[in-house]
Amino acid sequence: MRVLHVAAEAFPAVKTGGLADVVSALPAAMSALGTESTLLLPGYPAVLDSGRSWHALAQWGPALGAAKVTLLRGEVPGIDLPVWAVDAPWFYRRSGGPYHNPQGEDWPDNAQRFALLGWVAAQITVDDGLGQNSSFDLVHAHDWHAALTCAYLALRQSDQVPSVFTVHNLAYQGLFPYQDHALLGLPSQWMTPAGMEFHGRLSFMKAGLQFANRITTVSPTYSREIASVDHGHGLDGVIRGRLPHVRGILNGIDDQVWDPSQDRFIAKNYSALQLAGKVACKQALCAEVGVPYDPQVPLLACVSRLSSQKGIDLMLASLPDWIDDGVQVVVQGSGDTALEMALRHASARYPGRFVALVGYDEARAHRILAGSDALLVPSRFEPCGLTQMYAMRYGSIPVVRRTGGLADTVIDISDGLAQGQPGTGLCFEQATAKALTSSVRRLLALFKHRAQWQQVQQRGMAMDWSWRGPAQAYQALYEETLRDPYGSLAGEDAEAGQVATSSPAKAVAKAPA
C-alpha cells in the first residue's frame, strides 16, 4: 500500500506543535507494517535548506496565484521517509513562520498558500504523470492546512483514490472570506451549509470533514467530545452527520527520541529501575533555571503552547496558593502575548520559586521533563496531548484536566485504586483554578510518601506510548477505507443508534464540477 501524507509541518524540519511530531512519526511507524509512505510539505526555507538531493518531479504553470509551481523530491534528515516539497517561492520562501509573519500576524494569503498544497496533492494523486511507480493508493491529509486535498480530489471526480482526514485540533479551522472560493477554483455550489460554507465564510476544516472518506481524531475521547455542542466549535452537527466514518485513534510518541535511558540532552541517563539519574537531572535543571535545589520541595513543570486552551490562566491564578504551599514551578512555552507577559511578571514576583522561559527549545524540554517532579497540563480541551506521555516516560507525574487525550492516557491515583487499575497521575474535572489547586495539593501529599510516589513514577514509565499500536489501528483503517471507500457500514451504525448520512465525498465526486 502506498500512502501520501499531506501536512503543513513535520519534525524536525518545521515544528510549531505536536502536529509536526505526528506527521513524522506515524508514517515511519507504518513502514514496519508494509505501508510505503511519502510526505508532501510546503517548500518553506526550513524544509528546502535542511533537505538534500532535491530534484524536480513535475512543474505546473500559474496555479492559484503562484506563477510557477515545482514538485521536488529529496531527503530531509530526521524524517525517515521520502519527502516531496511544493516549491512555490512566492508563497513559501519568506521569513517568519509557516503560518505567521515575523510580527506574529497571519499571512494574508494563507488561503492560497495552503489551498495550493492540497491542489498539488490532488494533481499527483489522480493523474500525476510522474511515472509508473508514482501512483498512490490513499491520501492522508492532516488538519485544516491540508484539508482542501479532499475537496480537490472530489473536484477531480476521483473515485479511485480515497482520502483520510485527521483532525488534530478542531479549534483551528482555516476560515477565510467567502469569495476566496472562486480564487481557489472551488465551485460556488459547494459554498452552502451542506458544503464548506461556515457562517458566511469558507472553512478549510469543514471541507475536510465533508469530503474525506474517513475522518480520524487524535484520541478516542476527543472524537466523542467534538460531536457535542460544548466541544464542536460550531461543527458538531457536521461531525454527528459523519459519525459512522469517524475514528478516534490515540497518538503515539517516538520512544527512541523520548527515552531517559539514552537521552543525549539530559544530565544523566536513568530508567524506572535506576532512578538515581533523575535526581542528578533535577539538580542540573535547578542550576540551569536558577532555583535552589531542595529534594524536599517538588519542582512542577509546564511545557506548553501559551493559550487559553492550555489553561495557562488557571495556572497563573493558582500560583499564589502554590507558592504559599512551598512548591517550585518552571514554565516553558510561547504563544499569546498577554500570557507571555503575565508569566514574566510572575517570574519577577517570585524569584527562585517561579521561572518563565518564554520560547521553545526542544533540548531544554527534554531537560525540564527529566528534572521535574511533576508536569502540569490544565487544558480546557486537549485533542490528544503528547507532553503528558513524555512526562510519564521520564518519571514526571502528570497533573491533568480530564478531557480529550488526557482522559485516555492518565489514570488518577484514586480512580486506579477504586477500579483495580494502578494510577499514573492526578486528574481533575472542572476547568477552574480551585480544581487545579486541589489536585496540586493532592500531589504534595503524595510527594511526602516517597515509596508511593516512586511506585506512581514507575507505573507511568512502564506504559507503552509508542507508535506501534496506533500504526496498527491506522493500517486497519486504511485497509477498511480501500475495501469500502464510502462506508457501507454507515447503515449498520445507524441501526445501532448512531447518526448516519450518505458520504458527501461520494455525492460531490459524482456531481459536475
Question: Cβ contacts of residue 115 below 8 Å, gap of 6+?
Answer: 64, 148, 184, 204
Positive or negative, the CA dihedral 175, 181, 184, 185 is positive
Given this model, what pLDDT does residue 415 score?
A: 78
Alpha-carbon gap, residue 372 to 379, rounded angstroms: 19
Given this model, what pLDDT does residue 279 score?
A: 98
Name the band, by pLDDT with cuts 50, 70 and 90, for residue 191.
very high
Name the more confident of 511 and 348.
348
Name the band, by pLDDT with cuts 50, 70 and 90, for residue 144.
very high
SS3 call for 10 = strand
Q: What are the C-alpha distances in Å from 4 to residues 87, 136, 151, 203, 458? A: 17, 6, 16, 23, 38
Question: Cβ contacts of residue 87 below 8 Å, gap of 6+?
Answer: 43, 48, 69, 70, 71, 72
Percent of the chain clearing pLDDT 70 (strictly above): 92
CA atoms within 13 A on the CB side of 302: 30
33-64 residue pLDDT tens: 999 999 999 999 999 999 999 999 999 989 99
Tell me the longest C-alpha to C-alpha distance in the chain: 70
Which of 31-35, 107-111, 157-161, 422-426 is predicted with the least confidence, judged by mean pLDDT? Answer: 157-161
Average pLDDT, the chain: 91
Say which CATH class 2-252+480-509 falls into.
alpha beta
Parts of the chain belonging to CATH 3.40.50.2000: 2-252+480-509, 276-462
Name the band, by pLDDT with cuts 50, 70 and 90, for residue 508.
very low
Given this model, what pLDDT does residue 19 score?
A: 94
Return the C-alpha cell found at 453.
510516589
Is-cis flag, bond preceding 177, omega within 30? no
Length of the chain counted residue by residue: 513
Contact (CB, 8 A) for 38 and 136: yes
For the domain covering 276-462, report its CATH number: 3.40.50.2000
Name the band, by pLDDT with cuts 50, 70 and 90, for residue 104.
confident
Given this model, what pLDDT does residue 492 score?
A: 45
Axis crossing angle, helix 433-447 with helix 312-325, rounded to the nearest 10: 40
